[in-house]
Amino acid sequence: AQKVTQAQTEISVVEKEDVTLDCVYETRDTTYYLFWYKQPPSGELVFLIRRNSFDEQNEISGRYSWNFQKSTSSFNFTITASQVVDSAVYFCALSGTNTGNQFYFGTGTSLTVIP
Amino acid sequence: GAGVSQSPSNKVTEKGKDVELRCDPISGHTALYWYRQSLGQGLEFLIYFQGNSAPDKSGLPSDRFSAERTGGSVSTLTIQRTQQEDSAVYLCASTLFAGERREQFFGPGTRLTVL
């Protein structure tokens, strides 16, 4: 079964705080891909990052960083020094090579950054 | 165009009417997906087109829903005899499967309101 769990439904932080969004996945595929998307209040989903199952190297992009750990089936997303513009719903997604190119999305985490 | 476009952006209809929603994917993208997002909810997969293969219709909620993709490009999602529970934002995404690249790019969505 393919499944993505985002246990945090809503998170509120004060501006400049760091925040980590959790993502746990289930898959039987040996090759798979993980994604994070941002959906701001305007509504359009924006692709943030793709990670391949064979590359566990963590990635940093400005204030964003991602921690991929196959041992715990997790792909967590950290925003450092959060800003009001980071307020959005964040979705984690999974795509496996043996599932007909289907994408499986978590239920999303709503992040509010309070000025 | 540079991104995925959808039309109309908003559609208000009366219960029982048919509606057509259109999606123009990114040029060259071979795969096209339709999702439904109810207010404050995650993404519900509806249907998926890949090249000339038969579409994956496994997510369509009822036989009132259908979709087609003409010429491997533009897609139309049709909802017949609309019901109030069909009210949602309908999202379209396209993907270019090329090596490790398989991220989805989303359109702005069509907000459907059934009165």
- Local structure of B93: helix, strand or coil: strand
- Local structure of B18: helix, strand or coil: coil
Mean of pLDDT values over B37-61: 90
pLDDT tens, A4-42?
999 999 999 999 999 999 999 999 988 899 999 999 988
Neighbours of B39 (CB within 10 A): 8
Confidence check: pLDDT of B57 > 70? yes
Tell me which residue of A30, A46, A68 sits closest to B103, measured CA to CA.
Answer: A46
* CA distances (Å), origin A36, targets A66, B12, B18: 9, 31, 34
Percent of chain B with pLDDT over 90: 77
The mean of the pLDDT values for chain A is 92
With cut-offs at 50, 70 and 90, classify the pLDDT of residue B1: low
Decide if A91 and B42 are in contact by the 8 Å CB cutoff.
yes
Confidence check: pLDDT of B71 > 90? no
Mean of pLDDT values over A74-93: 96
Per the listing, tokens 């967590």 go with A76
pLDDT tens, A54-74?
888 888 889 999 999 999 999
Decide if B48 and A107 are in contact by the 8 Å CB cutoff.
no
Mean of pLDDT values over A89-102: 86
Mean of pLDDT values over B80-106: 92
Q: Are B1 and B107 in contact (CB under 8 A)?
A: no
Confidence check: pLDDT of B99 > 80? no
Check if B53 contacts A (Cβ < 8 Å): no
Q: Where are the alpha helices (DSSP H) in chain A?
A: none
Decide if B56 and A100 are in contact by the 8 Å CB cutoff.
yes
A41 to chain B: closest CA residue: B40
Mean of pLDDT values over B13-18: 97
Which residues of A are less than 8 Å from B93 in CB distance? 45
Residue B2 or A114, more confident: A114
Decide if B97 and A47 are in contact by the 8 Å CB cutoff.
no
B93/A32 Cα distance (integer angstroms): 19
Residue B42 or A74, more confident: A74
Q: Specify the pLDDT at position A46.
A: 94
